[in-house]
Amino acid sequence: MRVVFSGLAKRELDDATNFYEMEFEGLGKRFLAEVKKAVIRISEYPKAWSVERGEVRKCLLHRFPYKLLYSIERDHIHVMAVAHLHRKPDYWVERSDT
């Protein structure tokens, strides 16, 4: 199934990638590779991850403290947030209504 990132999720992904790359050369690329692996897993098995809230599921990244929050739509997977696990829990909740 096709995976689509919302504009805000894409910005969060870019911000985190840039942050990690500034911290250590190549780390941003490793972060992005980990996100891509998660996206592939989600697209192949969209119902494999636990429900975070309502219809929103979460897929935890293996090597970074982030999760992808997504919903399963009729014809695609909608990633609404690339959320850090230790910052502002539930900040993304209003996004699930849109």
**Residues 73-83: tens digit of each pLDDT:** 999 999 999 99
Average pLDDT of the segment spanning 10-26: 97
Question: What local confidence, expressed as pLDDT, does residue 88 receive?
Answer: 77
Within its chain, how far is the Cα of 55 from the centroid?
15
Strand partners, 82: 68
Q: How many CA atoms lie within 13 A of 84 on its CB side?
A: 9
Integer CA distances (angstroms), 32 to 5, 42, 96, in order: 14, 15, 23
pLDDT at position 98 over 50:
no
Q: Where are the domains of the chain?
A: 3-86
- Tell me, what amino acid is at 51? V
3-86 in CATH: which number?
Answer: 3.30.2310.20
pLDDT digits (tens, 9 = 90+) for 20-78: 999 999 999 999 999 999 999 999 999 999 999 999 999 999 999 999 999 999 999 99
By the 8 A CB rule, do 82 and 9 touch?
Answer: yes
User: Distances from the Cα of 39 to the Cαs of 24, 33, 76, in angstroms?
Assistant: 24, 10, 12
- Kindly indicate the confidence band of residue 87, based on its pLDDT and cuts at 50, 70 and 90: confident
